[in-house]
Amino acid sequence: MEDYNFIIDKQPSDVEAYYRRGLLFLEKNDRESAEADFRTCESTDPGNLFTKLSKALIFKLDDNWTEAEKIYTDIINTTVKPSSAYYLNRAECYVNTDRFSKAAADLHAVESDEKANPYFYVLRGRLRLDQFDKFAARVDFEKAKELGYDAELADKWIERAR
């Protein structure tokens, strides 16, 4: 936090610093301060990647998956080499809006890059569960747990897949 405070003090137009400090505020359950930093991103540079990411994150926190998906789609379409994280976030939006074929396409696109990411397996497990493939879903939830996903949450998903 102190590093970002220092950067912001020296470079008050550094949108990335506000975004990253906002993430730290969210980790501390201080949404009000996070949103203040995200609003600063918006007022400083509305088209900046980190401004877009902050808006998408707030939409996700508010369960507004459709608006978040639009932002991730925009980022993917306007970035030269989009990060697999953007596809993973968009897949999360698709899973939460029951657009399973689109979620499957995004998860398939990033599978090789996200093999060590437990949340990839949670999302794919949820997709498989929604497609009534309980065995494959359970395997994915167990893999997520093995990779360090919150054990209590993973166990709840595993139980749903029984």
Residue 74: the pLDDT is 98
Residue 24: the pLDDT is 97
Residue 104: the pLDDT is 97
pLDDT in tens, 30-56: 999 999 999 999 999 999 999 999 999
Residue 57: the pLDDT is 97
Question: Which residue in 33, 4, 28 sits closest to 17, CA to CA?
Answer: 4
Residue 11: the pLDDT is 95
**In contact, 41 and 48? CB cutoff 8 Å:** yes
Q: pLDDT-based confidence at 1, cuts 50/70/90?
A: confident
Q: What are the structural domains of the chain?
A: 1-62 (1.25.40)
Question: Which residue in 124, 144, 100, 136 sits closest to 161, CA to CA?
Answer: 136
Question: Phi, psi at residue 42, to the nearest 5°?
Answer: -60, -45
pLDDT in tens, 84-124: 999 999 999 999 999 999 999 999 999 999 999 999 999 99
What average pLDDT score do residues 14-34 get?
97
Residue 75: the pLDDT is 98
pLDDT in tens, 126-149: 999 999 999 999 999 999 999 999
Q: How many residues does the chain have?
A: 162
Q: Which residue has the tokens 């494959």?
A: 136
